[in-house]
Structure 1
Amino acid sequence: MTRQLFAEDAYLSTYEAKVVDVSARGGIILDATNFYATSGGQPGDTGFLERADGTKVQIATTVYDEGGKETIIHIPAEGEVVPEIGEPLVAHIDWDRRYRLMQMHTACHLLSVICPLPITGASVSEADSRIDFDMTDTADKAELTERMMELISANHPVFTRWITEAELDANPDLVKSKNVKPPRGVGKIRLVCIGEDAAIDSQPCGGTHVSETGELGAMHIGKIEKKGRENRRMRIRFGKLPQG
């Protein structure tokens, strides 16, 4: 089992850890990690593991073990030397990349607020993220951008809290995804909340996010695509909405 530090502090860019195992394919397992593992439409972190002699093991991506979400595997870049079991390391995430993903993931939550419709798919990336909505109507990207920027400019707090699985069962509307349900089996569900007392939004999510909406800066809806009779794909990008 890997202690998942990113769930407790998304801003933890560096952390001391110990190698507890190495998989048959050379994947590195630490006792604790600040590297986010690929899930929920957000890609796994990249970065490097620093050995005691100062050499670096470059990490190409981070994933969960095939058996579930208890163990995280750091996948070294091709040709990297794998450290020994028991070896102490310092884990360094690629912070600039992570922070852009945190901004984008938070922006996706804001888009789900201004478009309160079932979500059929989502993908977070560093420059162009998307959400697919179960909808038939057209939407105006300028209007959506304006409403999203209102939420960003208001600088609402973003925080997490935990509820029991029973509490989620009693509040099924917290789940916005139409096809994917929050993982169960550990007895609790992590919520990402926006606004004082979660007045703006509250939904199950295991991803990383900024602590205030104002950290997103200028963002806009870059494109709205029709992906079927009842599906619209909305793309989020950094910067102001281009004119024309």
Structure 2
Amino acid sequence: MPTELVFRDDAYAQEVTARVVAAAPEGVVLDRTNFYARAGGQPGDAGVLRWAGGEMAVADTLKGADDTVLHVPAPGAALPPISAEVTAALDWARRHRLMRMHTSMHLLCSLIPGAGVTGGQVGADKSRLDFDLPDPPTKESLTEALNALVAADHPVGELWISEEELDANPGLVRTLSVQPPRGSGRIRLVRIGGEDAPVDLQPCGGTHVRRTGEIGRVEVAKIENKGKANRRVTLVLAGE
């Protein structure tokens, strides 16, 4: 049975109650979870599972077989009993930083239109995007433009389209090496800004803040040359 992804509807659910479906050293499967499984450049969540008489520190979260989610126990952690009711509690400070970072990366994409994304990684301390871009803007100009978008406090939302609609609008996909997962018949888009003229609109399965103002000040720390036309842009949350 697939794990119900609570974070898909509510990325701010810091704790949820769930039932243990399976428990093994490689991971604990719950019937529902607020933990994001590592994918699309976003790390898996960490936190803790608590039940009557025990708790298990979650070191990582991964995708399991048959659309399940594996909560990976920290070394030496006890496993919860099968069918036990648990409280799944996120390391919220870390998750929220990842949400702020991920949304800022979408804003960065909006500032470099037309350039394909050749790679990327969301991180709590720093994040990066690689662009197929021979002549990038300066880090100072990108930093200024990013913080203008943050200060505008644009709403962040989602919508779903069919796979056929995505095929008819291939420009929505910015990544050159990774394509949105298919097979379910629909694709999730993350939209920043209004419906009529969004700041950014592209497929994404990750977690994001509700409004850009929640990101806080962000800075382009460096722009590196990683090949003939490959430029790596590194972002940090300023003053933290």
CA distance in 2: counterparts of 1:213 and 1:126, whole angstroms: 17
Letter in 2 for 1:217: G
Partner residue of 2:214? 215
Q: 1:97 aligns with which of 91, 94, 119?
A: 94
Partner residue of 1:37? 37
Partner residue of 1:199? 198
Partner residue of 2:160? 162
The gaps in structure 1 that reach 5 residues or longer are: none
Letter in 2 for 1:17: A
Partner residue of 2:52? 52
CA distance in 2: counterparts of 1:226 and 1:41, whole angstroms: 20
Partner residue of 2:224? 225
Q: Displacement, 1:139?
A: 2.4
1:74-153 mapped onto 2 (5 Å cutoff): 74-116=71-113, 117-153=115-151
1:26–1:82 CA contact under 8 A, matched in 2: no
CA distance in 2: counterparts of 1:227 and 1:33, whole angstroms: 38
Letter in 2 for 1:220: E
SS at match of 2:102: helix
Partner residue of 2:70? 73
Letter in 1 for 2:89: H
Letter in 2 for 1:189: I
Partner residue of 1:5? 6
CA deviations 1:60-98 (Å, max 9, x no partner) are 000001x46x11100000111111111110000000000
Q: Displacement, 1:138?
A: 3.7
CA RMSD of aligned residues (A): 1.1
CA distance in 1: counterparts of 2:224 and 2:17, whole angstroms: 44
1:42–1:123 CA contact under 8 A, matched in 2: yes
Identity %: 47
2:55–2:80 CA contact under 8 A, matched in 1: no
CA distance in 2: counterparts of 1:85 and 1:9, whole angstroms: 26
CA distance in 1: counterparts of 2:238 and 2:27, whole angstroms: 37
TM-score by length of 2: 0.96
Residue 32 of structure 2 corresponds to residue 27 of structure 1:
no
Residue 73 of structure 2 corresponds to residue 63 of structure 1:
no
Letter in 1 for 2:19: K
Runs of 4+ in 1 over 6 A off after TM superposition: none
Q: Displacement, 1:18?
A: 0.3
Q: Displacement, 1:184?
A: 0.3
Q: Displacement, 1:196?
A: 1.1
